[in-house]
Structure 1
Amino acid sequence: MGIVLGPNRYGKAETRVVRVSRGADGTHALTDLNVSVALSGDLEDTHLTGDNAHVLPTDTQKNTVYAFAKQHGIASPEAFGLLLARHFTASQETITGARVEIEEYPWNRLGPHSFSRDGSLVRTASVEVSGATETVFGGLAGLTLLNSTDSEFSGFIRDGYTTLAETSDRILATAVDARWRFAAPEAEFNAVFSAARDAMIDAFTGTYSYSLQQTLFAMGEAVLEACPDLTEVRLRLPNKHHFVVDCTPFGLDATPEVFHADDRPYGLIEGTVVRED
């Protein structure tokens, strides 16, 4: 039985690029990205013998990100990722596959050329090009949501290790990580992002929740209903637990108004909502 090289890829991770677009009226637009490139193809020799003849340096990949941001601008993370992935696979004979993953950090406008960072929300995109196959994912991370009521949790399995009390009224909080797949590699990416984000927020806000799993499905379903360009939504929802603080020892009433926000351990709910053919 021999030992052989398995699947492999290499690239330049986390190239930070900030693009300032200068309008004729003096108004600036700001795009802030973190770009990671990974390439695959005819790369066996570099692993087995150290022959780098088929290797496009990762420093070149970094420079390409900067040059393309200058030359082409950044219409959206998805479009920029497609531009890069198509370039690497089309321009290099030894490179047959490219994956580009992008995080975009949103900024709020304060004036013509002034901005403030928009909280913890990060827009995400992932593009893979291999031969004639192109796959595009959009998404977001760190969308923190909280309902202070309209959430229950009861009727669950109880065994010898169960101490959790059932509740008919609790805080439901999460930090959403979502990833959605486009049916085709061309779409109105910015419009889809806004519609998907708003649909998730509306579903979270408007769903009376008996479990975070139920809320997850409601959010995914809302995204697919709002965005016909999407075929599936993958959601990762940590349950950000809030526990009532008992203030009765201090001579105060038992109304649940003060909570302890506990960061770990936490429940983690994951699921994919898919559009059927």
Structure 2
Amino acid sequence: MTLLHKTYGKGRVRVMCVHRDGGRHAVRELTVQAMLTGGFDPAFTHADNSTTVSTDTVKNVVNIVARETMTLPAEAFCQAVAQRLLDSYAMVETATVTAHETRWSRLSIDGTPHPHAFTLDGNGKSVAKVRMGRGGALTVESGLSGFTILKTTGSGWANFVKDPYTTLRETHDRLAATSMEASWLWSRPPADYPAANALILDSLLRVFATTYSHSIQDSLYRMAQAALASVPEIETVSLACPNKHYLPIDLSPFGLDNDNQVFVATDEPHGQIECTVGR
């Protein structure tokens, strides 16, 4: 028997750092996964751990690098963790580090930003993922996970295949909502990761909100095109969007009409639409 693939590491390393600048503080919370490949075959095949780094040690490396570099953008932080693992352990061939950011927004009291009080930003999490080998960064990705958006008109679903299995009616005016998973692959680093990521998100949302959607497929392709046009340093954009369905309720048994006003909310089962668009 042959060991065809192996990797291991530490997941859900949750780290919060506070940067203090006098009385004004800033917070950063990341949930990190660091996965390694390399010369670890004996641990799998011969019960020999002599070349295997403990996953607890991997966690410690994440925390130490956080202490040193937590003010960096998530992409640069992931690169720093990957580089430290490669520099520290000769048996490691690649390190893949992923960080989901929990965003905290500064509270305002009577219109004045508070120096050390924050509220949780509930819509989605920023994601950075770096895969690094001994020759340097192999891939750098940024993105968003679980970013939920909705519009109440400007969306339809019509002219689709109809056969004896079809029960869905056509519509040219429906609610469109999704919990978006989005990622983009960098061909080269931008001057400012947070600014570039914000511009990409703005491009995605602008297309979603301001243009008619013939389908989620139609919207996703044009959203990705806009993101690629907005930031030249990205190579591809991948979007995965499950439909969050809001279905009109039939109120006719009660002598009432329902002109797209009252809906039942459900996301089970849901349509799953995914695409990757490149230059």
Q: Could you tell me the TM-score, scaled by structure 1's length? A: 0.95
Q: CA deviation at 1:188?
A: 2.1
Q: CA distance change for structure 1 residues 254 and 35 in 2, over 3 Å: closer, same or farther?
A: closer
Counterpart of 1:23, as a letter, is D
Q: State the match for 2:118 in structure 1.
A: 115
Q: CA deviation at 1:152?
A: 1.1
Paired residues for 1:79-94 under 5 Å: 79-94=76-91
Q: CA deviation at 1:261?
A: 0.9
2:271 to 267, 271, 275: 267
Paired residues for 1:205-220 under 5 Å: 205-220=209-224
Counterpart of 1:16, as a letter, is R
Larger proportion of strand: 2
Q: State the match for 2:253 in structure 1.
A: 249
Residue aligned with 1:120, SS? coil
Q: 1: CA distance between counterparts of 2:246 and 2:190?
A: 42
Q: 1: CA distance between counterparts of 2:71 and 2:83?
A: 15
Q: CA deviation at 1:253?
A: 2.9
Q: 2: CA distance between counterparts of 1:203 and 1:61?
A: 41
Q: CA distance change for structure 1 residues 187 and 41 in 2, over 3 Å: closer, same or farther?
A: farther
2:74 to 74, 77, 88: 77
Q: Is structure 2 residue 222 aligned with structure 1 residue 197? A: no
Q: 2: CA distance between counterparts of 1:96 and 1:10?
A: 12
Q: CA deviation at 1:157?
A: 0.6
Q: CA deviation at 1:133?
A: 4.7
Q: State the match for 1:146 in structure 2.
A: 150
| Residues 133-174 of structure 1: per-residue CA shift (max 9 Å, x gap) | 521000001111111011111111111100110111111111
Q: CA deviation at 1:83?
A: 0.4
Q: Superposition RMSD on alpha carbons, in Å? A: 1.3
Q: 2: CA distance between counterparts of 1:39 and 1:74?
A: 24
Q: State the match for 1:17 in structure 2.
A: 15
Residue aligned with 2:221, SS? helix
Q: Is structure 2 residue 236 aligned with structure 1 residue 238? A: no
1:127 to 118, 127, 130: 130
Q: CA distance change for structure 1 residues 83 and 187 in 2, over 3 Å: closer, same or farther?
A: farther
Q: Which runs of 5+ in 1 are unaligned?
A: none
Q: 1: CA distance between counterparts of 2:144 and 2:217?
A: 19
Q: State the match for 2:176 in structure 1.
A: 172
Q: CA deviation at 1:240?
A: 1.1
Q: 2: CA distance between counterparts of 1:10 and 1:33?
A: 20
Residue aligned with 1:50, SS? coil
Counterpart of 2:20, as a letter, is R
Q: CA distance change for structure 1 residues 186 and 9 in 2, over 3 Å: closer, same or farther?
A: farther
Residue aligned with 1:196, SS? helix
Counterpart of 1:158, as a letter, is K
1:55 to 52, 57, 63: 52
Q: 1: CA distance between counterparts of 2:205 and 2:258?
A: 31
| Residues 87-111 of structure 1: per-residue CA shift (max 9 Å, x gap) | 1112211111100011001111012
Q: CA deviation at 1:185?
A: 5.1
Residue aligned with 1:190, SS? helix
How many aligned positions are there? 272
Q: 2: CA distance between counterparts of 1:89 and 1:205?
A: 44
Note if contact 1:187-1:229 (Cα within 8 Å) is conserved in structure 2: no
Q: Which runs of 5+ in 2 are unaligned?
A: 108-113
Q: 1: CA distance between counterparts of 2:140 and 2:122?
A: 26
Q: In terms of mean alpha carbon deviation, does 241-250 or 5-14 score higher?
A: 241-250
Note if contact 2:248-2:258 (Cα within 8 Å) is conserved in structure 1: no
Q: 1: CA distance between counterparts of 2:190 and 2:258?
A: 56
Q: 2: CA distance between counterparts of 1:254 and 1:193?
A: 40
Residue aligned with 1:237, SS? strand
Q: State the match for 2:110 in structure 1.
A: none
Q: State the match for 2:111 in structure 1.
A: none
